[in-house]
Amino acid sequence: MHSLWNDAEAGRYRGDLALRVYTSRLLGRDRSLVLHGGGNTSVKLRQANLFGEEEDVLWVKGSGWDLETIEEAGFAPVRLAAARRLAELPALGDPEMVEQLAIHTLRAGAPPPSVEAILHAILPHRFVDHTHADAVVTVTDTADAAERVGEIYGDAVIVVPYVMPGFALARAVFELLHAAGGAQPGDSIQGLVLLKHGIFSFGDTARQSYERMIHLVGLAEDYLRGRGAWVLDPASAAGAAGAQPAGGAETRLAEPAAAAIAGLRRELSAAAGRPLIVTSRRDPRSLRFVRRPDLAELALQGPATPDHVLRTRRLPLLGRGAAAIDAPPVPAATAVAADTTAGTNWTAAVAAYVEAYRRYFAEHAAAAPEPKTMLDPAPRIVLDPELGLLAAGRTAAEAAIAAEIYQHTMDVIERADRLGGYRVLPAARLFEVEYWDLEQAKLRRAGEPPPLAGEVALVTGAASGIGKACVEALLARGAAVVGLDVEPRIADLFPRPAALGLRCDVTVEDEVAGALAAAVATFGGLDLLILNAGIFPASRDIAALGLDEWRRVMAVNLDANLILMRRCHPLLRLAPRGGRVAVIGSKNVPAPGPGVAAYSASKAALQQLARVAALEWGGDGIRVNIVHPNAVFDTALWTEERIADRAAAYGLDVAAYRRSNVLGVEVRSRDVAEAAVELCGPRFSRTTGAQVPVDGGNDRVI
Ligand SMILES: [Zn+2]
């Protein structure tokens, strides 16, 4: 573990609050120290108020901010004296503590101060850093944690037995400090180790506090290394850096595996009462862990630090049993037809998990001082020897965070196991954190999710025009989106966790299969399919239309859509709310124009294909609808030259041609995308086989 402090970088941060931002980001940069909102930091500053009166202010990380990206605005300024005084109370409910901290915050609009604010306040040092460092958590997730910590640190840290985070923890540390002879830890004390939770460091400067954290965590790493418990697999000596993107050539999912994941997603979604995103990791490190013969013994204990219970739940769901794993692989060619029972082998496993979760809730809720509302009982982590590590969430970001946290959990478990055994908190202690008053209050505040939250959409021709607008409309409705395009720039077009851009020639079946495998590996299945990719060749009379051009248009506008529909059907059938397909047709279907025979014929055939799909797939709960746009000029199909050309064909000037419809309006990509996506939404749940013009009204169609 090395300090990332850099004088040149640090020089750009002026003042103690700015340096607090800098070293907080340094902590956030290292995933083995903090993950996704975990950890917190503070600095105590003496500052004057409007009346010129000096006051000590605790600037502490606000909840909702991530250390990796925190800014000055992410710190809440709390009156230090008030925060310290709260610690003198023998007891205080956490909701009341949050209220008190908010009352004593000196900036309207500041984020709520961290729930560890009082603990930061009672430590006398100016800078305080707190992380859930993997190495420290590993050492303390063992049976003889306190002895090990003593062996590593001697008197350099104060050992704090596990106490529920929040006021109880602050109060416990307050009492420890007083028992140790006053509120001032000795000069040799550099931090606190919180058993089965994490570590605090402190110092007089930002650099000292940060570098003490690095030093203390480094000592724990050295301890693990010295006992053969650091490097887990000589072949991947990077250790904790186990994260790998989903998909990828070498990890491409076979079709039966993709169907199994989509089946799992359906079961998990049913248990959760809403669609969930399921992301998977099949890197060698994850596979090695999930194939351990003693997996149940190791994984069915609980999370590495209680904070994680909110993301991963207390326990993962393990596999589908030996029968599924030993089944002979289904030949790819027959997989689509043969695999009609995909998903059924998860039913019993998920039902058993749900039953166990209900028992866990009933048992511990009964002992709680106030009534609790049960979370949905679906597991968030599934470990399967064949499929690897699977993580579920209500959004793509949630699922990805759960997966990353569990990848670190695997390291902690295996290393603690090498030290002599992974031992975490009993279920009752984890229940307290999972069902903390503060978390329950968040639950009550949460509004309705967006209409397509937890659903997965695939859009072809997604790099521009109507396809790009569809991606935006889907993301805005909460869906995760896979965008395919023949243009390589699709890969970077939508840089966010809910979007996956893949270069794909949809006329090549193997490329489509690869894209679907990546979609399932990343998001767990497919709910919505938007068939948009198309080409529009230059105007040509039939007398001059070559067969090559005709075939090229048919390949993209028609054949590719057959490939996509056939390949997507097994996944759409497993969509938790039923699959939906939107086909981007054309006004040329009901009202063709001269010079565009190939295009018009391809779209007319596509319309028939979609109508037949609506008939065939209704029994599978899949809706298929068509929109017919016309004269959408902000797409890749159109150039100024082409617009002039088509305007001339209708005997109109360009301005008139752009608005040559009954309403006299321009039709934009966004108008078409909104209509297509809306047809996939809940308002049209009883509509299939419909054809909706999005053309401003066409007198030949009306
Ligand atoms: Zn913590």
Question: What is the model's pLDDT at position 683?
Answer: 95
Q: Ligand 1 centroid to 443 CA: how many Å?
A: 21
What tokens does 699 get?
A: 């007198």
**How many angstroms is it from 119 CA to the middle of ligand 1?**
11
Ligand 1 center to 38 CA (angstroms): 7
Equal fold, 249-445 vs 456-636+667-694? no
Backbone φ and ψ of 542, nearest 5°: -55, -35
CA of 107 to the centre of ligand 1 (A): 25
Q: What number is the average pLDDT over the span 639-668?
A: 89
Residue 251 has a pLDDT of: 59
Would you say 303 and 314 are in contact if contact means Cβ atoms under 8 Å apart? yes
Per-residue pLDDT band for 564 (boundaries 50, 70, 90) equals very high
CATH of domain 456-636+667-694: 3.40.50.720
pLDDT at 514 over 80: yes
Is a pLDDT exceeding 60 seen at residue 8?
yes
Quick one: average pLDDT of 9-33?
95
Choose the weakest-confidence range: 16-20, 27-31, 213-217, 444-448.
444-448
pLDDT digit string, tens, across residues 423-442: 999 999 999 999 998 888 87
Predicted pLDDT at 168: 94
pLDDT in tens, 92-119: 999 999 999 999 999 999 999 999 999 9
Per-residue pLDDT, 181: 66
pLDDT at 241: 41
How distant, in Å, are the alpha carbons of 43, 274, 505, 556, 683 from that of 598? Answer: 69, 43, 20, 11, 35
**Does an H or E element contain 352, and which?**
helix 344-367
pLDDT of the residue at 579: 98
Looking at the predicted structure, is the pLDDT value of residue 525 above 60?
Answer: yes
β-sheet with 691-694: strand ranges across: 499-503, 480-485, 456-460, 528-531, 580-584, 623-629, 691-694
Question: Model-level pTM greater than 0.75?
Answer: yes
CA of 144 to the centre of ligand 1 (A): 21
Count how many Cα atoms sit within 13 Å of the Cα of residue 334 in the half-sphere of its side chain. 4
* Pairwise pLDDT comparison (629 vs 340), residue with the higher score: 629
Centre of ligand 1 from the C-alpha of residue 527, in Å: 38
In terms of DSSP bridges, do strands 40-48 and 127-131 run parallel, antiparallel, or are they unpaired?
antiparallel
State in Å: Cα 498 to ligand 1 middle.
Answer: 28
Residue 275 pLDDT: 98
Nearest of 450, 498, 497, 501 to residue 478 by alpha carbon: 450
Average pLDDT score over residue span 331-350? 56
Closest CA to 401 of 497, 269, 265: 497
Can you give the pLDDT at residue 439? 82
What is the whole-number distance in angstroms between the Cα of residue 286 and the centre of ligand 1?
26
pLDDT digits (tens, 9 = 90+) for 313-329: 999 999 875 444 444 44
On average, the pLDDT of the chain sits at: 91
The yes-or-no verdict on residue 341 having pLDDT over 80 is: no
The 3-state secondary structure of 97-156, one letter per residue: HHHHHHHCECCCCCCCECCCHHHHHHCCCCEEEEECCHHHHHHHCCCCHHHHHHHHHCCC
CA distance 144 to 632: 70
Where are the chain's structural domains?
A: 7-226, 249-445, 456-636+667-694
Topology given in CATH for the domain delimited by 7-226: L-fuculose-1-phosphate Aldolase (3.40.225)
The verdict on whether 599 is a catalytic residue reads: yes
The active-site residue, picked from 22, 162, 406, 599, is: 599
Pick the range with the lowest mean pLDDT from 82-91, 174-183, 387-396, 531-540: 174-183
Output phi, psi for 400, to 5 deg.
-65, -40
The C-alpha atoms of residue 18 and residue 72 are separated, in whole angstroms, by 7
Q: How many whole angstroms from 383 Cα to the centroid of ligand 1?
A: 26
Q: Is 269 exposed, middle or buried (0-12, 13-18, 19+ CB in 10 A)?
A: buried
Region 535-539 average pLDDT: 88
Give the pLDDT mean for 124-137: 96
**Residue 257, H or E segment:** helix 255-272
Mean pLDDT computed over 361-365: 95
Whether residue 250 is predicted with pLDDT greater than 50 in this model: the reply is no
How open is the CA angle 74-76-78, to the nearest 5 degrees? Answer: 170
How would residue 193 be classed by pLDDT, with cut points 50, 70 and 90? Answer: very high
Percent of the chain with pLDDT over 90: 81
Cα(220) to centroid of ligand 1, in Å? 17
* 199 CA distance to ligand 1 middle (Å): 8
- The reported pLDDT for the residue numbered 636 is 76
- Ligand 1 mean position, distance from CA 67 (Å): 13
The continuous run of DSSP H or E covering 287 comes out as helix 284-290
Listed in sequence order, the residues at least 6 apart from 279 whose beta carbon sits closer than 8 Å to its beta carbon are: 246, 390, 391, 393, 396, 399, 400, 403, 521, 522, 523, 524
CATH of domain 249-445: 3.40.225
Centre of ligand 1 to C-alpha 141, Å, is 14
Nearest alpha carbon to residue 266 among 577, 562, 543:
577
Element of type H or E holding 61:
strand 54-61
Contact by Cβ (8 Å): 534, 461: yes
pLDDT of residue 184: 65
